[in-house]
Chains A and B, each alone.
Chain A
Amino acid sequence: MSACCETPAFVPPVAPPDATLRTVVLIGPPNSGKSTLFNRLTGLRQKVANFPGVTVEQRMGLMAGVGREDLTLIDLPGIYSLDPFSEDARVSIDVLRGEMPGTPKPDAVLLVMDSLHLTRQLMLAAPVLALGLPTLVLLNMSDLMAERGGKVDALKLARELGAPVAQVSAVQGDGMDAIPLFLNQQSERAGAKPLSLPVLGNAASAHAWAAQVSRKTGYRAPLSVEGTRKIDNVLLHRFWGPLLFLVVVVAVFEVVFSIGQPLSDGLGDVLARMGELIRPLLPAGWLQSLVLDGAWKGISSVLVFLPQILLLFLFIGILEDSGYLSRAALIADRVMRTTGLNGKAFIPLLSGYACAVPAIMATRVIENKRDRFATILVTPFMTCSARLPVYMLLIAAFIPNVAYLHGFLGLRTLVMLGLYLAGFVGAMTTAWLLKSSILKSNDAPFILELPQYRMPTLRSLGLRLVDRARVFLKQAGTIILCVTLALWVLAHLPVMHSASGEISAPQLADSVIGRLGHFIEPAIAPLGFNWKIGIGLLSSVLAREVMVSTMGTLYGADPGTQALSLHAALNHDMTLGGALALMIFFAFAMQCTSTMAVVRREMNSWKWPAAQFLYMLVLAWVAAFVVNHLTMMFLG
């Protein structure tokens, strides 16, 4: 039975001076169930994960879950104290004090604590309550608390803290009534004086105070469960642990490719057929060409990769929500430290296999600034899902489908693995270079909390995928649509007048885009790239997958047999050396404006992403040059 009926009878002695309530913040230590509560209160999508401090962005939502659509709820990153030890804590402090630009000063605070570890969690209560904002203390996980024989007197605790206290279970939805009750009281009350709490100078006095409070409230910690330790006996076993770790990583990629490929092919067929259905509806001529050969073909050549990308995010979501990712960080720490990074960098780097943008935001869990900067700078080397379309197109066009070891290992798979390995080695080498030069740091402790294993919920995984799909489709509908349209227009300008006065499009080589491609050709010819590839490289600076749609538009392939004819066109136009060089170029080059923007935001300067872009470009050029010439020497 849950303790939801013990909702506060104690009225808060604090209220905002002007009694108008607009903004409420949600704060609490990592793993206190804050994100689940946020989901329940707002009904908005939000990442719920098990890695300490994974809520790296502040999120907002209207409190529709408790019938208060007029209130904005801000979800803050999980923090242990108001000591600005990490970026997360700094963000939270700024928001709470109303010093965060663009975020309104909060009018009320919901302080969430895991009642299973109340003594420790209370250490955050004193500094938060001392801010003088009206605060409701929520003792979360009341269901588990009751189940495992823990006890706390909420009324006594409310008296000690001078703030109302409610016992809730965000997972079960118990005790939620306390929240609207508290909020309604805030709108009516005004002018009360805050209860004075002891000023806590350091962590030791904060702990002494927290221990004293929890003693006075008759707190008894619940019993620990054995389940997590039994699972860890296997997953962190000296021999089985690393082996299972490798199996998990390989299995993720295997499933993404073996299930994702047929799904992609199927989607490609459907999109091509849809294009053919539209064709008769448009008058033949430039409009039909613009819509079908320009826009539709460009977008669908990128859309087909949605299944693979979603599968990759699904697996990373399962690993993260279950709590395994923290164990993976523990196993990876030994390897990561040889480069100068620590195990926590493993989480952003693994997410980097899906997309560098969320991965770079996830680096906020790394407390040490230099470690964090080094991780941000190497994350774009990880083979993100946007590189997949380019690799798959080139592999399908140039690498024969030969199988080794009785069909267990294909040449195409080997090339793909080689490209993933190239990215990983690039990241590790760069990390080592950075950590032994400009980003050297001595005092960077590795402190990792291992949360209990949880079953990932379908709801949380589903919300994650919807979120990713939305971002991907938005990208396809904006950047990629614009680029393909612009390319189509540039490929059809300047308008030619024939002797008889008829208007026609120029030859591709004479068009604006053709001349631009020829202009940069000398710089890329040593890599085995012609001017069309040059245009592809220029346009893919926006996003890597644009390369594929650009090739599609430039080679003007028929939508019905698009993949086939694009392969044939590329095969006719490029050498094997050039194709391999192009793949290695994409492995190293930083072709993504979204990543550059997020690096600028996280490192607060344009200098870093500019240096990163140049470094990766030079590396990509040199590697492509070497690969092209080696191929010519040995295979040409």
Chain B
Amino acid sequence: MLNIILAIAIVCAVVAAESRDLRYSVYALGGVGACLALAFLVFQSYFFAVFQLAVVALIVYLFIRILNNRGIVNDEAPHGAPLSYVVAAVFALLALWLFLPALRLLPTPQEISTKYAETLRAYDVFGMIVIVAVAGIALLSMLRNKGQE
């Protein structure tokens, strides 16, 4: 089940990367996020599935709103420099070669819920709220800024 969700997410990610129309890219990104919410459902964390979905919906909404406001539709420069493709390919192959053996050592998701105690930490949630606050203040500082006087 999880594999299917991941496969859908991977397809969405490729669409997000390669799509010429930026709005489809954003929707595809939303698809990836939705897959994450589905994964939460598989683990039976219903509240967090809904929460994740809400956050993803907000992100997609913000992106689309900004794209529409500026009348941006298409990615005008879809092809990067050839060198960057080469570097990315080398990097990807290296990463796969290095990581795949290591992945075998990790306990499978099915084992996890029985092996490790679930940890919900108010401390971390608090920290994450602070992070969002930082982003908010950053937004205020840059978007309502008249620059140097």
A and B co-occur in one complex: no
- A residues apposed to B, CB below 8 Å: none
- B residues apposed to A, CB below 8 Å: none
